[in-house]
Each structure stands twice: as C-alpha cells, then as structure tokens.
C-alpha cells in the first residue's frame, strides 16, 4: 500500500490509555502520555485525537464549559474523548498496582546508589556481599 500508514504508535498508545481512563480531555491525555511514554508535543496529541475521530477509534464523550481563572478568560471549553467502535486496546503487561511496585523498586535502586555515594564521600569503602573489598 502506498502513502502514510493508517496505524500509529502514538494513537494506539492513546487508545490503551483511554481504555484505562474511560474518558479524558486532550490536555489530560497529553500529561498522562508524557508520564507513561516518550514525550510528544501537544499538537501531536490533538492531531491524533482528530484523526482518531475520523477513523472511529475515538468518539466525543462530552463537551463541557468549565469555569476557572484562565489567562484567556473565565471559562474553558473542554472536549472529552472516549473509545470509539473501531478502537482495539492492547492488554497491558501489568496493572497499575504493579506499576507502582516497579516505581518503588526503582526508588530503592536510586536510594542504594545514593548510599554508595555517601559511603564514598565519607571515605569509607563499601564491602561487597561476597566479603571482598572493592
């Protein structure tokens, strides 16, 4: 087939996120996307939302006028998106709870590394678990 591919990695990631979130507006999707996947521009997220509307992967769940103190005025119109009929979410490799555990273990690794720096900073040598000094 010639031309641009119909599938997109970014759009598929957004489908997977909306399968977990239920519905969300564009800015919230962008914030969550940047936390879970490599960073993309907001413009790219909004492009894929519009493209997903055309392909049936997304649908407009609701449009809300939300009051607030914005730089452009007192209200903002937010369009909430949900999964469409042609969306095919992929099963996630782990649940949110397991993701939190993975984050905790990463924090433990970072804490262990900082202990190594503090031992080196104080002039002490760390002893390996097999009993040999480094």
Spell out the long-range contacts of 100-103 with Cβ–Cβ below 8 A and sequence spacing 24 or more.
Answer: none
pLDDT tens per residue, range 20-43: 999 999 999 999 999 999 999 999
Q: Pick the range with the lowest mean pLDDT from 5-14, 73-82, 124-133.
A: 124-133
Residues 6 or more apart in contact with residue 134 via CB below 8 angstroms: 125, 126, 128
Closest CA to 85 of 55, 48, 46: 55
Q: What percent of the chain has pLDDT over 90?
A: 60
- Domain segments of the chain as ranges: 1-90, 92-122
Q: Who has greater pLDDT, 110 or 69?
A: 69
Rounded CA separation 90/33 (Å): 16
Mean pLDDT over each residue of the chain, to the nearest integer = 79
Architecture of domain 1-90: Orthogonal Bundle (1.10)
């Amino acid at each position: 087939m010639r031309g641009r591919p119909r599938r997109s990695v970014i759009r598929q990631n957004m489908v997977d996120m909306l399968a977990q979130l239920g519905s969300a507006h564009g800015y919230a999707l962008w914030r969550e996307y940047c936390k879970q996947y490599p960073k993309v521009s907001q413009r790219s997220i909004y492009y894929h939302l519009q493209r997903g509307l055309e392909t049936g992967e997304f649908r407009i769940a609701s449009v809300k006028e939300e009051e607030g103190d914005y730089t452009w005025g007192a209200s903002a119109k937010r369009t909430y998106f949900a999964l469409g009929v042609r969306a095919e979410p992929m099963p996630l490799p782990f649940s949110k709870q397991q993701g939190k555990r993975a984050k905790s273990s990463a924090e433990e690794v970072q804490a262990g590394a900082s202990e190594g720096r503090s031992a080196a900073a104080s002039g002490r040598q760390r002893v390996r678990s097999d009993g040999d000094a480094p």
